[in-house]
Amino acid sequence: MTVAEIYKTTKEELLGAGVPEPEENARLLLEAFFGIKRIDILTEPEKLLDESHVPDFRAAVERRKKREPVQHILGRTCFMGLDFKITPDALIPRPDTEILVEEVLRNLSDGSRILDLCTGSGCILTSLLKFSNYCEGVGVDISEKALALARENAESILGRRDTPESDNEGMAGEGAAIEFLQGDLFEPVRKGDRFDIIVSNPPYIKSDVIGTLEPEVRDHEPRIALDGLNNGLFFYNKIIPEAASFLAPGGMLFFEIGYDQGEEVSGLMKNEGYVDVNIVKDYSGLDRVVYGTKSVLM
């Protein structure tokens, strides 16, 4: 079987199963199992495949046809140009969240202290530390399984590690330190701790909307990472009032939001006294990030 033949048949199978972006999914699977890159499909269409990999490839295609996320099948995904391990224990990092990371990086100073609430796979905090200098980061999640994944990603990408056995004392690598704490939002954070940046991609989908989502999300992502309860604003209402007591003077609070939540979340921040509150759109022109600064009066 040639590259062109297997690419064509895989695309058609995925399309017939209703899989979104069948061309990209076929390409990702071909690269994972045969090492075939995008350029190879164009320049070497008649190249013969190593038939020994076909059974594993076919099993992966069948899983994808049942709408299991390709990131779960491969166990990896690319986020901010970095390779993150992925499991069903945490939300799959998505390009929308890169908008949040990029916005924080624009406002981040070397040596800043960062608190990441609902850290999940650790993709936000790990990326921020990777692309900054001498910063310290704390990631919090209620799920210990998600934290185990975050620790593994931090060790792999940053070359430093934090373990539960270290009594939550982050082990610093060159230029930065990271630690992960298990608990509900601010609950495990040391009282009196102050951060220059607090960032969060909290659950923000309305409970009654989750059942209408694509099967990849509805059936395979952890509901605890999706469900923003009732109107989707539950976690913003919890985080915004309490964040000020953990922010240093002039510290900033950043959120990822749903496409229709910009005005509501920015209004909540303004009502709590945050200043310079901004809404940032994603590349589709939809509201995606809200951030503001702790007022000197708070």
- Asked if 196 and 252 touch (Cβ cutoff 8 Å), the reply is yes
- Does residue 74 fall inside a structural domain? no
- Asked if 110 and 298 touch (Cβ cutoff 8 Å), the reply is no
The Cα–Cα gap between 273 and 240 comes to: 10
The whole-angstrom distance between residue 291's C-alpha and the CA centroid of its chain comes to: 18
- Does residue 71 fall inside a structural domain? no
55 and 128, same domain (yes or no): no
218 and 178, same domain (yes or no): yes
DSSP reduced 3-state for 258: coil
Encode pLDDT of 125-136 as tens digits.
999 999 999 999
- Does residue 72 fall inside a structural domain? no
Supply the pLDDT for residue 279: 98
Encode pLDDT of 6-58 as tens digits.
999 999 999 999 999 999 999 999 999 999 999 999 999 899 998 999 999 99
Encode pLDDT of 48-86 as tens digits.
998 999 999 999 999 999 999 999 999 999 999 999 999
Domain hosting 58: range is 3-66
- What would you report as the CA-atom Rg of the chain, rounded to the nearest whole angstrom? 21
DSSP reduced 3-state for 221: coil
Q: Encoding tokens for residue 261? A: 């939540």
Encode pLDDT of 150-200 as tens digits.
999 999 999 865 544 444 333 333 466 899 999 999 999 999 999 999 999
* DSSP states of 17-29: TT-SSHHHHHHHH
11 and 55, same domain (yes or no): yes
Encode pLDDT of 221-260 as tens digits.
999 999 999 899 999 999 999 999 999 999 999 999 999 9
The Cα–Cα gap between 97 and 256 comes to: 7
Q: Encoding tokens for residue 187? A: 């609950």
Supply the pLDDT for residue 130: 95
Q: Encoding tokens for residue 53? A: 């990999």
Encode pLDDT of 268-290 as tens digits.
999 999 999 999 999 999 999 99
Nearest partner of 104 among 260, 251, 258, 226, judged by Cα? 251
Q: Encoding tokens for residue 28? A: 């990702």
Supply the pLDDT for residue 139: 98
- CATH number for 128: 3.40.50.150
34 and 136, same domain (yes or no): no
DSSP reduced 3-state for 133: coil
113 and 164, same domain (yes or no): yes
- Asked if 140 and 181 touch (Cβ cutoff 8 Å), the reply is yes
Supply the pLDDT for residue 167: 41
Supply the pLDDT for residue 161: 54
Nearest partner of 92 among 180, 209, 220, judged by Cα? 220
60 and 96, same domain (yes or no): no
121 and 25, same domain (yes or no): no
In the chain, the number of structural domains is: 2
According to DSSP, residue 92 is labeled: P
* DSSP states of 44-88: -TTPBP-GGGHHHHHHHHHHHHTT--HHHHHTEEEETTEEEE--T
One-letter amino acid at 137 equals G
Residue for token digits 């929308």? Answer: 96
119 and 263, same domain (yes or no): yes
pLDDT for residue 110 is more than 60: yes
Q: In the predicted model, what is the mean pLDDT of the chain?
A: 93
Give strand ranges (E) for the chain.
76-79, 82-85, 113-117, 136-141, 177-182, 195-200, 247-256, 275-281, 287-293
